[in-house]
Amino acid sequence: MTVQERILEIKKKLRLNMNGVASTSMREAGIGYKLNFGVGVPGLKQIASETGKDAQLAAALWKEDIRECRILAALIYPEDEFQSDLADLWIEQIEFPDLAEMCSMYLFSKMKGASEAAFRWIASDNAMARYCGFLTLAHMLRAGREMSERYVRELKDQANVAINDTDLKCAQAARTVLSCLGTDNG
């Protein structure tokens, strides 16, 4: 089966799991994807488990510019094959926090060089990159990934600055990181 045929099969599954109420609710909340089936994470995880890990399919799904296809891309891209330069490109294309959260949790925090990339992102002028950086580091800390004392100090400094960020999602992600570090305020 070709990649395009597999994408068609996935889109059929998405239509079967479609939730118009959820899709409408997201749109009303300002999450206006080009196309949004409203499929929840459990349904997407089921489709991902049936699909299996596949970098080529994941890259093609990402290009579909459909909410569920992009989340599936994050779920099925093999973490050991995903590179930080591709993560940089994906972050540039992420418009909404829900996709940033899924990518950070299921892919960015598990890729090679995740901490280096995340530190680069939190120092960025791009609010979505900062958001992804803090989320990625929070997921790594929750998973028990070790960090040198120097990195911990730097992360605390960056998070304490970001708490006052005008972008509320970055500020909240910074608070989450501080909580994962066992401190509320540095």
Given pLDDT bands bounded at 50, 70 and 90, which one contains residue 93?
Answer: very high
> What's residue 184's pLDDT?
58
Token duo for residue 97: 């926090």
pTM: 0.90
Task: Please check whether residue 60 is in contact with residue 7, taking contact to mean a CB–CB distance below 8 angstroms.
Answer: yes
Q: What is the 3-state secondary structure (H, E, C) of 106-166?
A: HCHHHCCCHHHHHHHHHCCCCHHHHHHHHHHHHHHHHCCCCCCHHHHHHHHHHHHHHCCCC
Q: 126, 41, 144: which is closest to 87 by C-alpha?
A: 126
Summarised one tens digit per residue, pLDDT across range 134-179 is 999 999 999 999 888 999 999 999 999 999 878 899 999 999 999 9
Kindly state the average pLDDT of the residues 124-143: 96
Rounded average pLDDT over 73-100:
96
Q: How confident is the model at residue 186 (pLDDT cuts 50, 70, 90)?
A: very low
CA distance 158 to 137: 12
Q: Are 89 and 59 in contact (CB under 8 A)?
A: no
pLDDT-derived band at 2, boundaries 50, 70, 90: very high
Looking at per-residue pLDDT, the higher value among 185 and 37 belongs to: 37
State the Cα–Cα distance between residues 28 and 32, nearest whole angstrom: 8
| pLDDT tops 90 at residue 100 | yes
17-71 pLDDT, tens digit per residue, is 887 777 777 777 777 778 788 899 999 999 999 999 999 999 999 999 899 999 9
> Which band of pLDDT confidence, cut at 50, 70 and 90, is reported for residue 185?
low
Model pLDDT, residue 148: 86
